[in-house]
Structure 1
Amino acid sequence: MKDRKIALTIGRLAATVGVNVETIRFYQRRGLLFEPPRPPGGIRHYSAQDVARVKFIKSAQRMGFSLDEIHHLLQLDEGMQCDAAAALAAHHLDDVRQRLRDLHRIEATLENLLEQCRQGEKKVACPLIAALHAQAQ
């Protein structure tokens, strides 16, 4: 028989890891979390291993990994394939660095446009709005 401390219902699992029950179900549909068998007339119970797995998923999401990448990492974890995990992380790091470059470019553009807005006359079209219109075309 399972120890009651680690036999969690889906609601308790969700509360323990700080997510919604629907998030747990979504992870199950995506193949990120296994759905335990339902005993006849009973309720499914989740283990400490399930808690750890959901915490891993949430941690990887905070690092910016997509659910597909997380699924791949979970598969690699089961086979202890550090080289493949490192390759995935290196690719992700390249993506993060590109997004940072993009964000720095956006930051500089916004700073410039805000400065133009502050210096502009009230009767002249707003440089920020004008720039957004120009990019939309």
Structure 2
Amino acid sequence: MRSSLPKNRGTLFQDLETRLNAHLNTNAPLAALLEEREQLASTAVGQGMAIPHPQTSGMLGLSDSVVAIGLPETPVEFEATDGQLVIAVFVLLSADATHHLQLLAQLTRLLRNLELTGFLHTQPTPDALLNAFRKKLDSAAL
């Protein structure tokens, strides 16, 4: 999801809520859940990446977990420990707690790959981004 709206984290979360609710056919208060999680500690993981991951197990009625990628047109402040503004947001909404931890660990490992995070900084198209992630996941599975 590329968004021209976000100038700050709150606006980004509102935009993601609108898009995700439309996609998931729900009316969940996702922006509030994302901001609530952010208040616990920044979900920025470095290199301009963030993984907001509110505990949603059972709350949204999801049968499968969802990872949505938000690519704001302008970098957003997430109070990252490396001081970098965030250029890619990976929203993790989990169907259950076990899957939540597994997905979070896998996504964190992927985002430690400097080749992949460097690619994200080029503002790839959604198809190119999906292909890059598939390649990394396939090579990690070997």
The two structures share one fold, judged by TM-score above 0.5: no
Scaled by the length of structure 2, the TM-score of the pair is 0.29
- The structure number with the bigger radius of gyration is 1
Structure with the bigger percentage of strand: 2
Structure with the bigger percentage of helix: 1
Scaled by the length of structure 1, the TM-score of the pair is 0.30
Which structure exhibits the higher relative contact order, with contacts defined as CA atoms closer than 8 Å and separated by 6 or more residues? 2
